[in-house]
A and B are shown apart, each in its own frame.
Chain A
């Protein structure tokens, strides 16, 4: 049997609130499995426990009960994080380091050195489009640039699992598309991705499987197509259909038990429109 990339079993996390008698249950009895090579999306409203779950998987926060594993190794083992890259939400790095220095530092923590580290640093800066900012200190980076350097840092040792907490928060639509493409590229290379996001359209596009959390409870889970399919409906999209054809179809429908619910012109998405309009002239 193949070991799941991530396994969460009966996970509960309770945060006591000091000096008050209350406590916050951030995650309640969560069970999850992410198969190797999958892109898994964790969805849910603010405060539903997404970040807490991810932090527990990475051993940054300890569970109140239950356990989490990465490729079969308990998250409490430091070694379980060997082949893992993590991008926290709203990441901040050392302001006094430049982009290249930052990647070098994280590379060394993962045991890289010498030529390999140097070439990897260059590659990743290029990949996230920061090669022009490589010698600028992070104190002067914009939010989106920090997000990109964070992504590069997460990929430094070519991990087998990448955990991304809201990877596209604060990134412009073009950058957000770049990150989407990057995740799809990771997937093509067989790397497992576990991400949380509020951008449902994007999640729908890139994730194989999603889980929806509400108040720390997993309320829906499954393959994206299965979750979204409306079983008793079918969509037809026609090109160059003349009014006669449409009339014929309507006549056909009248004879059957099927009912036409809606007939409309498909629209482009706002995202696509935005991307078209803001494309750099050179690219157009």
Chain B
């Protein structure tokens, strides 16, 4: 019987909260310090020559994508962990929730801000990585042209084509999207942990723990399934473990990309869907804890 038309869901409100969270994170400078780290790593790999060009590109991709994966994950955890506790401690949350803002919109705004920050970070790191790759490729093309100056034009072209093929590869993009999804998943899970955590340190410790378990559990599971015949109890247990500790190894496609093998479309789609499901499930858990929470 609400006379006035208060909308239960407003994209403008969420956008305002997202923008605010993003501003908060940018002005807290979380972003810059991690970007500099990434820069350093990518930069250093440029000077790591003395290898055959295939190996060199492999090392460059390996280091860059590895760094990108670790930094976005860390950024996701560190940036998200303090958002809600900070608002609660400073009591700014009272002023926000005293406005007609449903709590799920508040949560969505917080997560949205982090996802935006992560997206921009990934785009920036990708750009740097591609520039590094391109610069190195052009340098090597120069070297190749000089070395092959006596050969026939077709042979020269062939040499340059092989070189370029091992430098840039469209498969990089799905790989990078998956890196982003992994970070987004971690952000959503961190948001959930931070709704009941007693301190930021607790949240970050739990998340680092989950991060490692998440990467190791695939191995553990294989070992475990070899040892025990997989009855339904074992399967349920493993499903539960997989819920609490997301199987992050599934989001690790860096090795395939570095090896230059194409990521099959179905595998990519499956990983992307899995990532979105994890994000939604953790967001829902966060809301379950947060919607009745005493502030």
Contacts and interface: CB of A to CB of B under 8 A. Distances in A.
B89 to A, nearest CB: 9
A59 to B, nearest CB: 7
A58 B20 contact: no
A113 B12 contact: yes
A123 interface: no
A153 B98 CA distance: 11
Interface stretch (B61-69, B99-107, B111-119, B282-290): B99-107
A62 interface: yes
Given A59-B97, A78-B101, A81-B100, A97 B91 contact: no
A79 B16 CA distance: 18
A181 to B, nearest CB: 23
Contacts of B102: 78
A110 interface: yes
Contact of A91 (B28, B95, B292): B95
A60 interface: yes
Nearest to B28: A96
A60 B4 contact: no
Contacts of A93: 92, 95
A276 B37 CA distance: 60
Interface string B6-40: 10101011011100100110011000000000000
Contact of B12 (A58, A106, A111, A153): A111
Interface residues of A, number: 34
A274 interface: no
Contacts, number: 86
Contacts of A153: 95
A88 interface: yes
A60 B99 contact: no
A94 B292 CA distance: 24
A36 B6 CA distance: 21
A86 B95 CA distance: 7
A180 interface: no
Q: Is the interface of A mostly helix, strand, loop or mixed?
A: loop
A61 B91 contact: no
Contacts of A106: 95, 99
A111 B23 CA distance: 20
A150 B95 contact: yes
Contacts of A83: 4
A140 B8 CA distance: 36
Residue from B12, B16, B23, B94 whose CB has the most chain A CB atoms within 10 Å = B94
B90 interface: yes
Interface residues of B, number: 30
B48 interface: no
A235 B23 CA distance: 60
A3 to B, nearest CB: 11
A185 to B, nearest CB: 22
B228 interface: no
Interface string A188-231: 00000000000000000000000000000000000000000000
Nearest to A93: B92
Contacts of B99: 81, 106, 109-110
A160 to B, nearest CB: 11
A94 B109 CA distance: 15
Interface in A62-106: 62, 73, 77-79, 81-86, 88, 90-94, 96-97, 105-106
Interface string B266-295: 000000000000000000000000001011
B16 A86 contact: no
Interface string B70-99: 000000000000000000001110111111
B8 A81 contact: no
A15 B48 CA distance: 62
A85 B13 CA distance: 17
A108 interface: yes
B2 interface: yes
A136 interface: no
A93 B16 CA distance: 15
B95 A88 contact: yes
Interface of B: 2, 4, 6, 8, 10, 12-13, 15-17, 20, 23-24, 27-28, 90-92, 94-102, 292, 294-295
Minimum-distance CB pairs A-B, first 4: A79-B6, A108-B16, A86-B98, A96-B27
9 contacts: A61-B295, A81-B100, A84-B98, A85-B98, A86-B95, A96-B24, A96-B28, A97-B23, A113-B12
Given A60-B97, A78-B101, 6 more contacts: A60-B94, A79-B4, A93-B95, A97-B23, A108-B13, A153-B95
